[in-house]
Amino acid sequence: METKPEKSLNFIHEIIEEDNKTGKFGNRVHTRFPPEPNGYLHIGHAKSICLNFGTAEKYNGLCNLRFDDTNPVKEDVEYVDSIKEDVHWLGFDWQGREFYASDYFETLYGYAELLIKKGKAYVCALSIDDIGKFRGTVTHAGQESPYRNRTVDENLDLFRRMRAGEFADGAMVLRAKIDMAHPNMLMRDPILYRILHAEHHRTGDKWCIYPMYDFAHGQCDSIEHITHSICTLEFEVHRVLYDWFVKELEIYAPQQIEFARLNLTYTVMSKRKLLELVQGGHVKGWDDPRMPTICGLRRRGFTPGSIRNFADIIGVAKRNNVIDVSLLEHCLREDLNKKALRKLAVLNPLKLVIENFPEDEVEEMDAVNNPEDPETGMRKVPFSKYLYIDEEDFMENPPSKFFRLSPGNEVRLKYAYIIKCTDVIKDDNGKITEIHCTYDPETRSGLPQSNRKVKGTIHWVSAKHAIEAEVRLYEQLFLKENPEEVEEGEDFKANMNPNSLQIKNCFCEASLKEVKSGEKFQFERQGYFCVDPDSTSERPVFNRTVTLKESKAKTQK
């Protein structure tokens, strides 16, 4: 019997299966995730991580973690540490195959000399501006550098002296000798090495010349015997250059495959812009829960599984895309719904007095921990005469479709009694300060009378037993689906949502007193919340990860 694949293959896996059929790489699948350690990873990287590690997993292959650290002035160990943490957190392991472009500096240097000896590279002393000018434009050919025809010996000597530190930064560069009229700008004698007297986070001051990304990336893949070098679309035009290097150097040739990077509605994804948000103080840091960074999402309360599932669902293709953030939220809720323990918490407290309930009596109510997972059992929550309910759950003059509490109407208190509103107390300004109700003792949850139909069920917390906590409610960071859509003269920051963070004091059930940073809960009827590291034993802090899905009827007041 034939086993049919449940899901159709994405175009990359199709290529791989074809390669496996033809034996192109000896049925090997070896990918890599190659970040530059110059910033924090974001959800776009997560797509790439899932693709690279996931592909290796799928085909019983390997996936390396390789840091593209060819620019010492921008890179730092802080970033390599965070990247490793994030990849692990997502659930992937490189099994010790942690490599660095800087591991190959000596080999790369050798490649450069080889090119010089073949007459395919030369040392150019044109200024940075002149190199730009000589390059021509996208529609017009460039012109050749006056240094282009130096002898091999001269080039070799100069290049060795570059390495030896005889020249100042920017004095000269090593260039490939290809074609200054090539329609692809990258082929117009690209720079291979530049002089940079800078301390490298791994090699220290061993080098004062560093390879350019283009001269490093493809060869690093080659050195590691990567079979499929999966990268984003903007490197499509670089592929001919990489192929040129591989051919001239006569080294192992990986196959580069480009895919479209992830874009999400209501967010920005470029490292530069994220950095701007951090440095401009628009958010509290890289791990601000509003950031699309992996660490931000983690702090917000996302689960690795939900992100992996998301990456799987969005698929991989070559056309530019913008994924609706609601899909990400859907994956999140789907995961959290199954796992998060339910709790009662009141975000906008409104006092409620049950007039016919004995003054000092406390009843212990049975509450379900997670209806999606019976294994999690039950817990007790205290009930008393004085409660808090949520402001939104009461309306003095409700529309017909309002299911919650209003004067003269009944509502069920979750896990407790059916109550009826008898009175509304207001202050001098007419603001409602207190609701008075009566309860029906026959309707306690579990009793036969509790099955009586009422329109709605609301959550509550006993005033005397509740603990206080801080909640941080988040909305999208930007008001427009596409934050780049701005008036002339403005930039994406003009679209920032002034209400993306709202901090509140809330009352929650006492069992939330002892919580650990990172723990996730569902506050019933409100959303999923995650314990923030800012929590203290005195005062827990909860981040609202995402609201529950809300029907229109509930949202409209």
In the bound complex, what is the minimum distance in angstroms from residue 554's beta carbon to RNA? 4
Residue with tokens 């009461």: 394
- β 378-383/255-259 pair status: unpaired
In the bound complex, what is the minimum distance in angstroms from residue 107's beta carbon to RNA? 16
In the bound complex, what is the minimum distance in angstroms from residue 518's beta carbon to RNA? 21
In the bound complex, what is the minimum distance in angstroms from residue 538's beta carbon to RNA? 28
Site string for RNA, 405-444 (x = CB under 7 A): -------x-xxx--------------------------xx
Among 80, 83, 115, 195, binds RNA (CB under 7 A): 195
Residue closer to RNA by CB (options 102, 495) is 102
Q: Does 91 participate in binding RNA (rule CB under 7 A)?
A: no
Q: Does 70 participate in binding RNA (rule CB under 7 A)?
A: yes
Backbone phi and psi for residue 245, each to the nearest 5 degrees, phi listed first: -60, -50
**Integer Cα distance of 336 and 529 in angstroms:** 10
**Integer Cα distance of 218 and 502 in angstroms:** 47
In the bound complex, what is the minimum distance in angstroms from residue 165's beta carbon to RNA? 14
- Interacting residues of 84 by C-beta distance below 8 A, sequence separation 6+: 65, 98
Instruction: Return the structure tokens found at 274.
Output: 């994220």
Cα dihedral 104, 110, 113, 117, rounded to 10, equals -140
Backbone phi and psi for residue 419, each to the nearest 5 degrees, phi listed first: -120, 160
What residue type is assigned to position 296 of the chain?
Answer: G
Q: Does 480 participate in binding RNA (rule CB under 7 A)?
A: no
**With CB under 7 A as the contact rule, which of the stretches 86-94, 345-353, 375-383, 545-553 interacts with RNA?**
545-553
Q: Does 114 participate in binding RNA (rule CB under 7 A)?
A: no
Residues 489-518 that bind RNA (CB under 7 A): none
Residues 25-64 that bind RNA (CB under 7 A): 36, 38
In the bound complex, what is the minimum distance in angstroms from residue 444's beta carbon to RNA? 7
Q: Does 334 participate in binding RNA (rule CB under 7 A)?
A: yes
Residues 357-386 that bind RNA (CB under 7 A): 370-372
Among 404, 420, 472, 520, binds RNA (CB under 7 A): 404
What residue type is assigned to position 72 of the chain?
Answer: P
Among 27, 91, 456, 501, binds RNA (CB under 7 A): 456
Residue closer to RNA by CB (options 116, 411) is 411
Q: Does 290 participate in binding RNA (rule CB under 7 A)?
A: no
Q: Kindly write down the DSSP assignment for every residue of 517-545, as one continuous string.
A: TT-EEEETTTEEEEE-TT--SSS-EEEEE
Residue closer to RNA by CB (options 251, 260) is 260
Q: How many CB atoms lie within 10 A of CB 422?
A: 15
Q: How many CB atoms lie within 10 A of CB 72?
A: 21
Residues 260-289 that bind RNA (CB under 7 A): 260
Buried-state track 482-509, b at ≥16 Cβ within 10 A, e below 16: ebeeeeeeeebeebbbeebbeeeebbbb
- β 62-67/30-33 pair status: parallel
**With CB under 7 A as the contact rule, which of the stretches 24-32, 155-163, 228-236, 298-306 interacts with RNA?**
228-236
- Residues annotated as catalytic are 36, 261, 271
CB 489 within 8 A of CB 445: no
Count CA within 13 A, CB hemisphere, residue 182: 17
Residue closer to RNA by CB (options 97, 261) is 261
**Integer Cα distance of 508 and 460 in angstroms:** 9
Which residues lie across from 501 on neighbouring strands? 474
Q: Does 219 participate in binding RNA (rule CB under 7 A)?
A: no
In the bound complex, what is the minimum distance in angstroms from residue 254's beta carbon to RNA? 16
Residue closer to RNA by CB (options 18, 534) is 18
**With CB under 7 A as the contact rule, which of the stretches 185-193, 245-253, 276-284, 378-386 interacts with RNA?**
185-193
Q: Does 213 participate in binding RNA (rule CB under 7 A)?
A: yes
**With CB under 7 A as the contact rule, which of the stretches 44-52, 245-253, 419-427, 445-453 interacts with RNA?**
445-453
Q: What is the DSSP letter of 184?
A: S
* Environment class of 250 (CB within 10 Å of its CB; exposed 0-12, middle 13-18, buried 19+): exposed
Q: Which of 284, 312, 271, 340 is nearest to 545 (CA)?
A: 340
What residue type is assigned to position 297 of the chain?
Answer: L
**Integer Cα distance of 347 and 320 in angstroms:** 40
In the bound complex, what is the minimum distance in angstroms from residue 537's beta carbon to RNA? 27
Q: Does 202 participate in binding RNA (rule CB under 7 A)?
A: no
Q: How big is the site for RNA, counted in residues (CB under 7 A)? A: 94
Residue closer to RNA by CB (options 112, 172) is 172
Residues 294-333 that bind RNA (CB under 7 A): 313-324, 326-327, 330, 333
Among 93, 106, 153, 169, binds RNA (CB under 7 A): 169
Residue closer to RNA by CB (options 319, 516) is 319
Among 50, 65, 172, 291, binds RNA (CB under 7 A): 172
**With CB under 7 A as the contact rule, which of the stretches 77-85, 291-299, 485-493, 519-527 interacts with RNA?**
519-527
Residues 127-146 that bind RNA (CB under 7 A): 127-128, 131-132, 135, 137-139
Residue with tokens 């529609």: 139
**Integer Cα distance of 85 and 300 in angstroms:** 16
Count CA within 13 A, CB hemisphere, residue 158: 23
CB 244 within 8 A of CB 178: yes
Among 446, 499, 502, 539, binds RNA (CB under 7 A): 446
How many residues does the structure list for the chain? Answer: 557
Q: Does 524 participate in binding RNA (rule CB under 7 A)?
A: yes
In the bound complex, what is the minimum distance in angstroms from residue 155's beta carbon to RNA? 16
